[in-house]
Amino acid sequence: MQSESRSKSKELYQVCVYSIHFHYSFCSKLFHDFFFVL
């Protein structure tokens, strides 16, 4: 039971990291395009 919960939280952590990374890349690209146009 404990190990199951641990793997679940690890999975959630990875998803969070990926989403944060994706969000950051997306935002930086957006800002870059915006300033490039500016």
Q: Which tokens sit at 36?
A: 């490039």
Residue 33 identity: D
Q: Which tokens sit at 19?
A: 């989403």
Q: How far apart (Å, rounded) are the C-alpha atoms in residues 32 and 9?
A: 34
Helices (H) and strands (E) in the chain, counts: 1, 0
3-38 pLDDT, tens digit each: 888 898 899 889 888 888 888 898 888 888 888 776
> pLDDT at position 1, please?
60
Q: pTM of the full predicted structure?
A: 0.48
